[in-house]
Structure 1
Amino acid sequence: RDNADNTYTESGTRKRMGRKGIGKLAALSVAERVKVISVRDGDKSGCILSLNISNKNADGKYEIPAIPDDQINFLKIDETKSGSAIIMENSRYSINKTIDSAKRNISLIFPFACQTFKIHLENLTTGATATIDDTTMDIVKLSDALLTFSDEDSEYNEYLNALHGAFDNGRYYRVLQEKLPPDQLPAQKVLHKALTTIKEKMLLVTITGEQKAFDLSICGWIATFASSSDKKRNTDFPVNHISIIANDKLGQFDILPDISTDRMGEAYVVGQFFVDLLEETELPDIAASNRQGYKEDDPRFEKTLELIRKNALRPILELKADATKEKNYIRDLEKANKAKESKEAFDRSIREVVEHPDFKKVIHDSQPVKQALETAWELKDTLKDTYKKIMISHSSDDKPVIDELERVLHFCGFEKEEILYSSSNYYESGFEAYTDIYDYLKNFFVNTTRKTDLCVIYILNQGFVEKWDPVLEAGAGWVLNSTWYPMYTDTFSSVRRPFPGTAYTPKLNFDMDEKQSRTLAGAIYRISQHAGKLEQTEETIFQFIKTTRLYHG
């Protein structure tokens, strides 16, 4: 296949899969002998491929042995019609001979099996049979998040729409509806999205040396298994993978290691993308020498990886996070209610002590004690309940870089409602309408003096002290002895007393190197531990920082 005339098969409707016709070498890599037999219009032909050919003709040259007509017999082909069979004998590998194992393994090698491309299996010894006709639909039914990418004019549109329609968006929400009254139900999350084809123009050099514009078009789907048990099927191949299909041929079984963002959710990811430009006839052949992947430095392949990482992998991991929140909603709700009940029980016990007649009698003649108690109780009664665990004290000039810090905190398990960050893009983390910032801060800090898990992160720079709001936040946090963690965005000299400035005070900036990023990861890990967020380790936090704009490497 080297020009437009031989790009398609004789029917003119299907592109040829390969390019050099070296499938015979692949067959000989797994078997000692390969028999190829064919029949067309009653004429039979056949030969034997082997790496150990010993026959020589009259000229002393080796020949590929022919198979006599009477030995060309078919098990599944009507000899009055047309068809071919490839028989690999004496396998070089030990393979699982059960029909179920063979079906699982082959379904991964041919992930595009469907009603029009069925694979039939038969164990000639036991008579057991199986058919592979729709492996992808089974995966989608086991998934709790799904993205599809297609346009109406795409040849894969009907197939991908069917996957989208088969997805169970109510997998977790039905459980909530069964266990919660209607007035306590949260809004249902949308865990599957039908998106348009990923496209990008590329200027590439053809096999004739001409520069020409091509459309890189990526259709396909990506999903996440609902649980670890769903993805732990008995198979010799990794179940979590992202495959590349080109010209309806498996171009590379798994690109996930090449686009990984090192997030734990990737262990649940599975996907399949159709990228025909990787096998474009006008462009150089970029298949690896083993024909099981593509040259890593080819611009087509590099751009394909970049676009799938950005437009598919990262979004599906966000959907997976939403699915996990919906799945764990009742557990988290019970945890929050238990904490609230504990607080209310503590308040009741204090009130019982203070209002007890004997206690009142003791303090009746002690005016200073009486005044102190009345003042403390008056302050407590005026405060609104809050569940904030982190306050980010900052200058609004640093918003872009703090937005990235906010992403890291979300990764560590902090909910939007648990963070007070006045410049946040999220409503839950900012101030409500008509809020007086000074009254809010006064109430916030006094109310949280009894909350030992509150952390205040001070984002310092040379302009910090020139703005009144950050100074007010800093002063209130210091006077009330909150647990605070300073960081700086410009130079170390910005860390001034009363903050403890050391060589290990983390810097928060774009394009940090590995050492700076690990120091920041260590600080965020300490903050998470203090606030009771135990989901991540220092290493996983560092790996996530590497996926943000904070890291340069």
Structure 2
Amino acid sequence: MKEYRLNVDPRILELLGPNLYTNIYYVLAELISNAYDADAKNVYIISNKDDIRVEDDGHGMSYEAGDIARYLNVAGVSRTTEEESHTKSGTRRKMGRKGVGKLAALSVSENVDVLTVANGEKSGFVLSRHPENGNELKAIPDESIVFERVEDHGSAIIMRHPQYRLHKTLDAVKRNLLKIFPLVDANFRIHVIRGTETVTIDDFDRSVMGELSTLITLGAKFAPLCDLVPDSYPDKRSELVVSQEVKTMPVTMKTSDGKEHEYPLEVLGWIGTYKTTRGRKAEMTDFPDNFISLFANEKMGEFNILPIVGQNKLNEVYVVGQLHVDLFELTDLPDMALSNRQGYKSDDPRYEAVREYVRNELLAEILKKREAFTDIVNAGKKLQKEEAQRNDEAKLRLSVDAFRKKASEEAAKALKELGVNVSREAMEEAISKSISANSPDLGLKAAVDAQKKKILISQTYPDKPFADIIYQMLVYNNVPTDDILYTNCDDEACRVPEGRAVYDYLREFFVESYSTQKIFVLFVTSENTKVSWGAITEVGASWITQIDHKIFNIHPFRPEHPLNDEVQWQSTNREEPTRGDLWMIRLNADVFCQKVEAICDALDYGKKTRAQNMAHLGTLVSIRNA
């Protein structure tokens, strides 16, 4: 009878077992990774009434060759050299490193059967959170080692009476698995089986890429994904789908021997945005559909960094991506995985470098492409609305001209009938009566005014985070998005129609219009303003047309004439003059709310109270006491 001895304090099983993972799909990902490292071509996830079984057709483990002894050496490092970093076949790079993942199944069940067969040699034992004989594990006799799907070689992990269950529909199970283990193709398939139902997962790329509207790939390995994104707008495809080179950044790290070295940190993978989110909530899964995952050596290390790198913008709900950074798992460098194996240490220089790159460059770039896609989709609707506005403007011109002509004629007729020798008061009364009689002809002016944008947020793109705060505070104070003109807004309703220049739009509907309504301008000023020709032009235009405006300034910049620098402007701080996190002292936060409320008063919007505005502002920006 074979003996199986666990090379670790059995109390570790009781401590780690139920706490190592809190989601069954992370457990399955570990077991699938083990199958991948065993050069399996098929993994079978079989959900039965009283157990969940994971079988694979990999090499299996030989008791005689010492494979099982190595398996039971929990937390033994599985790769210390480059040669050990590859599987037996030499065709795959190993995902496992620390050997802790083999305990993953104990997070689901108190007792787990491990069955394996290698070249016909069978072995089996029971992993338990509470071993009866210390390090000695209960052996499973050969006649009880039975597989459902494999024959001469492979392994099976049987989680008996599992605490967690798979989703009720296999389609949802498939979506969950694809999110955390995308490395599937014709050479590595995952089969999910429940009763008579079966779903096979063998093509990640096509199933996800077909749902996207925009895509950025990093590295030649992922460039072919671009061909899988639907070609909805061929003339604009180069703006929406693009392949880029690998992103490389230098990172200085200490190796295990304490010496510092500079390593090239390479980021590969892809990031995109969905065409729509409609219908997704109808089939709820255990993971959100908007995420940015981090992988190393093809294995997921952290499912979603979007909450960390994002800014809670509305259009972030469309974002999805998977980034691969193999330097996270370089054998020579410290392990950066968290103890629960569901994330990375946030203070590791490698993690910090990737986080800042995604936050400051990659995410901003894909969101701009999403904006471009939205503009293209809605271009027709916006052009129709603009054409209606233009037609009403033309009608207003005709009405005003007709009014002037008719009023003048009737005034002249009235004066003639009164004779030459009439008093000034009589003339004024006659003209006044004529104007009153014809004033209904100008009723269209109200309709024209109602169609116009009321507020322009003037800013440079580097100052978008601050402009976004102003925009969100306006919306919070019941300002309709259709009344706001904000060229870099995440909400397409605030941007000018696709293909239209903002200056042409402003000139046509505000400078050359017969309607006297002017736009209220909110200037976001900072050190970036001085180097932005567009921002300087807008400042000059507002002075020439005498448009009312408010100033929201980022220190240390100082607004000057022709802006109205004689009144108090709102001042906000930034960690660096041209970039970084924003913050305000309490006084400036109060001034911010005061200005937003003043705008609402001027344009007749139903503003919130000061206390409500201060509380909401505190959710958008850091407010400090000093």
After TM superposition, is the score higher than 0.5? yes
Q: Which amino acid aligns with 2:203?
A: D
Q: Which residue of 2 aligns with 1:21?
A: 99
Cα deviation code 1:153-200 (max 9, x no counterpart): xxxx1xx23320011242xx48xxxxxxxxxxx977721111111111
Tell me the CA shift for residue 305 of structure 1.
Answer: 1.2
Q: Which residue of 1 aligns with 2:570?
A: 506
Tell me the CA shift for residue 389 of structure 1.
Answer: 6.6
Q: Which amino acid aligns with 1:116?
A: N
State the distance in 1 between where 2:573 and 2:392 align. 40
Q: Which residue of 1 aligns with 2:184?
A: 113
Name structure 1 gaps, 5 residues minimum.
152-156, 175-185, 374-386, 419-425, 433-439
Give the alignment partner of residue 163 of structure 2, picking from 84, 92, 99. 92
Tell me the CA shift for residue 287 of structure 1.
Answer: 0.9
Q: How does 1:369-448 map to 2 (within 5 A)?
A: 414=485, 428=501, 447=512
Q: Which residue of 2 aligns with 1:168?
A: 230
Secondary structure (helix, strand or coil) at the match of 2:365 reads helix
Q: Which amino acid aligns with 2:226?
A: H
Q: Given that residues 401 and 509 in structure 1 are in contact (C-alpha distance below 8 angstroms), is that contact kept between their aligned partners in structure 2?
A: no
Residues 493/472 of structure 1: CA separation in 2 closer, same or farther (3 Å cut): closer
Q: Which amino acid aligns with 2:570?
A: P
Residues 135/391 of structure 1: CA separation in 2 closer, same or farther (3 Å cut): closer
State the distance in 2 between where 1:470 and 1:147 align. 33
Tell me the CA shift for residue 130 of structure 1.
Answer: 0.6
1:198 and 2:247 correspond:
yes
Residues 127/267 of structure 1: CA separation in 2 closer, same or farther (3 Å cut): same
State the distance in 1 between where 2:397 and 2:231 align. 42
Q: Given that residues 145 and 319 in structure 1 are in contact (C-alpha distance below 8 angstroms), is that contact kept between their aligned partners in structure 2?
A: yes
Q: Given that residues 454 and 531 in structure 1 are in contact (C-alpha distance below 8 angstroms), is that contact kept between their aligned partners in structure 2?
A: no
Q: Which residue of 1 aligns with 2:325?
A: 275
State the distance in 2 between where 1:470 and 1:326 align. 26
Q: Which residue of 2 aligns with 1:383?
A: none
Tell me the CA shift for residue 296 of structure 1.
Answer: 1.2
State the distance in 1 between where 2:374 and 2:600 align. 20
Tell me the CA shift for residue 91 of structure 1.
Answer: 0.5
State the distance in 2 between where 1:127 and 1:8 align. 37
Tell me the CA shift for residue 270 of structure 1.
Answer: 0.9
Secondary structure (helix, strand or coil) at the match of 1:209 reads coil
TM-score by length of 1: 0.72
Q: Given that residues 464 and 488 in structure 2 are in contact (C-alpha distance below 8 angstroms), is that contact kept between their aligned partners in structure 1?
A: no
Q: Which amino acid aligns with 1:111?
A: P
1:483 and 2:548 correspond:
yes
1:334 and 2:367 correspond:
no
Secondary structure (helix, strand or coil) at the match of 2:380 reads helix
Q: Which residue of 2 aligns with 1:101?
A: 172
Paired-residue identity, %: 29
Residues 522/129 of structure 1: CA separation in 2 closer, same or farther (3 Å cut): farther
Q: Which amino acid aligns with 1:102?
A: V
1:316 and 2:386 correspond:
no
1:72 and 2:145 correspond:
yes
Q: Which amino acid aligns with 1:513?
A: W
Comparing 216-225 with 110-119, which one deviates more in the overlay? 110-119
Cα deviation code 1:7-47 (max 9, x no counterpart): 22223332221222112321101122211111111111111
State the distance in 2 between where 1:408 and 1:162 align. 38
Tell me the CA shift for residue 266 of structure 1.
Answer: 1.0
Q: Which amino acid aligns with 2:230?
A: D
Q: Which residue of 2 aligns with 1:181?
A: none
State the distance in 1 between where 2:603 and 2:262 align. 54
1:50 and 2:132 correspond:
no
Tell me the CA shift for residue 346 of structure 1.
Answer: 2.0
Name structure 2 gaps, 5 residues minimum.
1-77, 436-451, 473-480, 490-498, 531-536, 576-581, 607-611
Q: Which amino acid aligns with 1:455?
A: F
State the distance in 1 between where 2:298 and 2:389 align. 55
State the distance in 2 between where 1:363 and 1:298 align. 88
State the distance in 2 between where 1:334 and 1:540 align. 39
State the distance in 2 between where 1:217 and 1:189 align. 25
Q: Which amino acid aligns with 1:205?
A: K
Q: Which residue of 2 aligns with 1:147?
A: 216
The total of aligned residue pairs comes to 475
Q: Which residue of 1 aligns with 2:517?
A: 452
Give the alignment partner of residue 352 of structure 1, picking from 383, 388, 402. 402
Cα deviation code 1:103-144 (max 9, x no counterpart): 233222323323322100111xx3111111223422221121
State the distance in 1 between where 2:403 and 2:487 align. 36
State the distance in 2 between where 1:353 and 1:392 align. 35
Residues 37/270 of structure 1: CA separation in 2 closer, same or farther (3 Å cut): same
Q: Given that residues 252 and 262 in structure 2 are in contact (C-alpha distance below 8 angstroms), is that contact kept between their aligned partners in structure 1?
A: yes
Q: Which amino acid aligns with 1:514?
A: M
Q: Which residue of 1 aligns with 2:12?
A: none
Secondary structure (helix, strand or coil) at the match of 1:53 reads coil
Q: Which residue of 1 aligns with 2:268?
A: 219
Residues 399/93 of structure 1: CA separation in 2 closer, same or farther (3 Å cut): closer
Cα deviation code 1:448-487 (max 9, x no counterpart): 68342412457899xx9xxxx9998676555xxx433245
Cα deviation code 1:223-279 (max 9, x no counterpart): 111112154342121111111111121111111112112221111111101111111
Q: Given that residues 540 and 562 in structure 2 are in contact (C-alpha distance below 8 angstroms), is that contact kept between their aligned partners in structure 1?
A: no
State the distance in 1 between where 2:129 and 2:539 align. 80
Residues 392/86 of structure 1: CA separation in 2 closer, same or farther (3 Å cut): closer
Secondary structure (helix, strand or coil) at the match of 2:278 reads helix
Q: Given that residues 263 and 540 in structure 1 are in contact (C-alpha distance below 8 angstroms), is that contact kept between their aligned partners in structure 2?
A: no
Q: Given that residues 266 and 325 in structure 2 are in contact (C-alpha distance below 8 angstroms), is that contact kept between their aligned partners in structure 1?
A: yes
Tell me the CA shift for residue 428 of structure 1.
Answer: 3.9
Secondary structure (helix, strand or coil) at the match of 1:122 reads strand
Q: Given that residues 189 and 323 in structure 1 are in contact (C-alpha distance below 8 angstroms), is that contact kept between their aligned partners in structure 2?
A: no
Secondary structure (helix, strand or coil) at the match of 1:31 reads coil
Secondary structure (helix, strand or coil) at the match of 2:265 reads strand
Q: Which residue of 1 aligns with 2:312?
A: 262
